[in-house]
Structure 1
Amino acid sequence: MPDEQPPRPAEPTLAEFREFVLNAAQERPGPGFWQSMYQDHYVRTVVGAADAYADHVGAPAVHARTGDPNPTDTDPLDAVRDIAAGYAADGADTRDDYLDRLADELTLDDVRALRIAGEAAVAATPRVIWAESDRGKKPPRIADEIGLTVSRVYQILRERPTAGEQPAGTAEERRRWAREYRKRHNGDAQ
C-alpha cells in the first residue's frame, strides 16, 4: 500500500546517549594536552547532566511507560506524614511558625482533602486495630504504633461487633447501633 510508512527506528535511550558520548571521547581524544583536558571536562559535564536528568526524570518516565501507577516509587502518604511530623514538633512557637508556613503552602482544596482523609482515618481506626489484633499484634504495641493509649485500644477491642452486628453506614444508624449495643452489653439505655 502506498500510504504505509516504513517502521520508525526506536529512539535512542538516555543510557545509549551517555554510552555514545563516553565511547566517542575515548575513541577520538582531542589532540594536545589542553584540548584533551577541555574535552574531558565537557564529556564529564554532558555525562553528569545526563545522569542528573536520569535521576530526576528518567526512572519515573520508564515506570510511566510501563503503566506503573506510582512512577516515582514514593509513598503516597509521605506528604501527610511530613505534615504530622511538623505539627507534632515540640514548642508552641515552633508549632505557630509551622502552621503559618503550612497555611502558605496549602490550598483550600488541599485542606478539604486532608480533613476528609482525617475523618476517614478516624472512622477506619477501629477496623485497623481489629485487623492488627487478628494478626497477633498485642494491644500495647498497637497503641504505641497508632498513637492511642493502651486503655483506648483495649476499649476498641472490647467494642468490636460480632459477626452480623456490624454498624450501619449513616451517622444516625451508627448512633442507633451504639445505643442498642450498650443496652445489650452494659444494660445502659442512654
Structure 2
Amino acid sequence: MSNEQPPSEQPPPDTASDRLLADMLGLFNRYERETAAARASQGDTNPYDLAPYEDVHGVTNEYEAARDSDDPRALDQFLDNLADGFHLEDVRALRMATAAVQAAMGRIALAARERGMSPDRIAAETGYTASRITQFIREEKQRRAAGDQ
C-alpha cells in the first residue's frame, strides 16, 4: 500500500527548490493543456501528439474513414502515414496486445453477457459475429467449469 497522498492532500513543498520544482511542473502541465486545447479547437484530432499506437480508437476511426472514403487515394495515404509513424517495436507491442485481447475474449464476452448484453450487441461492439461471440461464451463457461472440478 502506498503512503502517497492525493495531490490535493499533499503538504506544501518545504524548501525553495521543492516549491520551484512544483511551480515548474504546474506551468508545464498548464502549457500542455492549453496547447492541446488550442490544437483541438483548430481541428487537430491528436492534440497531445500521441504516437499512433497510443490512440487506438483514433487509428481505428481514421482507418474506417479512409477505407470507406470515396477518394481512392485515401486508404493508401492513411496507410503511408501510419507506416511513417510506427517503429518495429510498436508493431510488436500491438501484436502482443492483440494476442492478449484474443486470449481474453471469452472472459470479456461472458462478462458482457452476464451484465445482460445480447450476443448480437457484443458482436456489434467488438466486430465479431454473434455466432463467434456465442462460441467464446460457451468455451469460457467450459473453461470455468473445468477449473471448478
Give the superposed CA RMSD: 3.3
| d(CA) in 2 for partners of 1:154, 1:85 | 26
Q: Determine whether 1:129 maps to 2:137.
A: no
Equivalenced residue count is 109
Q: Corresponding residue for 1:11?
A: 19
Offset at residue 148 of structure 1 (A)? 1.6
- Cα 1:163/1:115, change in 2 over 3 Å: closer
Distance 1:111 1:162, change over 3 A: closer
Retained in 1: the 8 A contact 2:109–2:122?
yes
Residue 97 (structure 1) shift: 1.1
Extract unaligned runs of 5+ from structure 1.
1-6, 15-49, 59-71, 167-190
CA contact (8 A) 1:86 1:95 kept: no
CA–CA distance in structure 2, aligned partners of residues 103 and 162 of structure 1: 39
Q: Which residue of 2 aligns with 1:33?
A: none
Q: Name the CA distance, whole Å, in 1 between partners of 2:97 and 2:124.
A: 21
Cα distance, 1:53–1:153 mapped onto 2, change above 3 Å: closer
Separation of aligned partners in 1, 2:133 and 2:86:
33
**Rg (Cα) greater in structure:** 1
- CA shift, 1:164, in A, is 4.3
TM-score of the two chains, using structure 2 as the length reference:
0.57
> Of 154, 161, 172, which aligns to 2:134?
154
- Offset, 1:131: 1.0
1:119-147 CA distance string (max 9 Å, x none): 11222112100111112222222111112
The Cα shift of 1:55 comes to 4.3
Instruction: Give TM-score, length-normalised by structure 1.
Output: 0.47
Q: For 1:163, what is the secondary structure of its paired residue?
A: helix
Superposed, 1:101-180 pairs within 5 Å as: 101-160=81-140, 161-165=142-146
Residue 53 (structure 1) shift = 6.3
More helix by share: 2
Instruction: Give the CA deviation at 1:155.
Output: 2.5
The answer to whether 1:86 aligns with 2:58 is no
Structure 2: tracts of 5 or more residues without a match: 1-13, 35-47
Identity of aligned residues (%): 34
Q: Name the SS of the counterpart of 1:112 in structure 2.
A: helix
